[in-house]
Amino acid sequence: MKELTIREAREGLSHPEAMFADAEEILVVRRGEPVARILPVTPKRAVRSLKAFLASQSMQTVPSEDLLAEEREDRC
């Protein structure tokens, strides 16, 4: 973990790609006490396609009309 003072962080923010290139985490300190922690951005998860999602779902074997008719009969 890289440690920077507030002054160093302020000066380095003009070129963030250079400041954050080699560090996974940066701790910003003031008078030796931590005041901030700068973390890398985690990449977003890839979204599955609709086709892949539908393929993973099990299909209903009984038609909806039959299920509704059965439910209505159970109510009476």
25-75 per-position pLDDT tens digit: 888 999 989 999 988 877 788 888 999 888 898 888 889 999 999 999 988
Integer Cα distance of 28 and 6 in angstroms = 6
73 in a structural domain = no
17 in a structural domain = yes
28, 6 Cβ separation under 8 angstroms: yes
Integer Cα distance of 48 and 52 in angstroms = 6
74 in a structural domain = no
Count of domains observed in the chain: 1
Band (15; pLDDT cuts 50, 70, 90):
confident
9 in a structural domain = yes
69 in a structural domain = no
Beta strands in the chain (DSSP E): 2-5, 26-30, 33-38
Integer Cα distance of 2 and 23 in angstroms = 6
At 8, which amino acid appears? E
Owning domain of residue 18: 2-38
pTM of the model: 0.49
